[in-house]
Amino acid sequence: MNKRDVYLDYAATTPTDERVVTAMLPFFTEIYGNPSSFHSVGLKAQQAVAEARKAIAHFLGAHEDEIIFTSGGTESDNLAVMGITQLKAHRDAIEAQSGQKIPHVITSAIEHHAVLEPLLALQKKGSIELTILPVDRYGQVDVVDFKQALRPQTLFVSIMSANNEIGTIQPIEEIGRALLRWRKSENTPYPLFHTDACQSAGYQPLSVEKMHVDLLTFNGSKLYGPKGIGVLFVRRGTRLLPQMLGGG
């Protein structure tokens, strides 16, 4: 970059921190094994994956077995949307509890396209009914509107933690608490709650317990990490339909 250039697009992506680059270097040339291999080169790689998983679980206040690595925010969001809404066991459970064949999903008008586009495609196909909540002049979802949108057939809720264009922070903890109360009063484990936290991870403390989320997306490229890596937190016991087969 020219010395006079000023980069002001950190919400789109950050530079990779030099400490991250240094930490990654051995994995290109020394610890290059396949973590699924049983020889020592593979075992070293497996150990590194386990350590990364542990660090990320700690960052989110989650368990290690709740962390799924993906190729980025887009894949994590798609996996959350498709993995929950397309799993037969969830769809059957919604039908059994509500008598409605088509499950209902709630999202907001200002979600990232990685959430909105798959949801709109599913709505178009007739696979889900979709409520897209409007936002106020600050870009915030109204929690009262949100509660009014809940139905007995609501399977999935996806509301982002912070917006990628205007930075608005959504009342995720409040929505999470409203969902806990709804589940208790309706005696159901649904709806499952996903938040896209790509824009929060570098700025706000994230606790999956405080937020009461079942799924959470974030990526490396927005918080000084490498490009091409993402995380989907999936709460223990939450079943997910894989979108890629044969990867283990």
168 contacts ligand PLP (rule: CB under 6 A) = no
Query: Pick from 198, 208, 232, 240: which binds ligand PLP (CB under 6 A)?
Result: 198
Question: What one-character-per-residue DSSP string does the chain give?
Answer: --TT-----TTT-PPPPHHHHHHHTHHHHTS---TT--SHHHHHHHHHHHHHHHHHHHHHT--GGGEEEESSHHHHHHHHHHHHHT-HHHHHHHHHHHS-SS-EEEEETT--HHHHHHHHHHHHHTS-EEEEE---TTSPPPHHHHHHH--TTEEEEE--SB-TTT-PBP-HHHHHHHHHHHHHHHT---SEEEEE-TTTTTTS---HHHHT-SEEEEESTTTTS-SS-EEEEE-TT-----SS-S--
Our CB check for ligand PLP shows the closer of 66 and 111 to be 111
199 contacts ligand PLP (rule: CB under 6 A) = yes
83 contacts ligand PLP (rule: CB under 6 A) = no
219 contacts ligand PLP (rule: CB under 6 A) = yes
Minimum distance from residue 140 beta carbon to ligand PLP (Å): 15
Q: Report the distance separating Cα 114 and Cα 16, nearest Å.
A: 23
Our CB check for ligand PLP shows the closer of 152 and 202 to be 202
Query: Pick from 79, 110, 114, 192: which binds ligand PLP (CB under 6 A)?
Result: 114
Our CB check for ligand PLP shows the closer of 105 and 198 to be 198
Binding mask 8-47 for ligand PLP (x = CB under 6 A): ----------------------------------------
- Say whether the peptide bond before residue 191 is cis (omega within 30 degrees of 0): yes
Residue nearest to ligand PLP (CB): 73
Q: Which of these ranges, 15-23, 70-78, 176-184, 204-212, lies near ligand PLP under the rule CB under 6 A?
A: 70-78
Minimum distance from residue 245 beta carbon to ligand PLP (Å): 21
194 contacts ligand PLP (rule: CB under 6 A) = no
Q: Which residues bind ligand PLP (CB under 6 A)?
A: 72-74, 77, 112, 114, 160, 164, 196, 198-199, 219, 221-222, 230
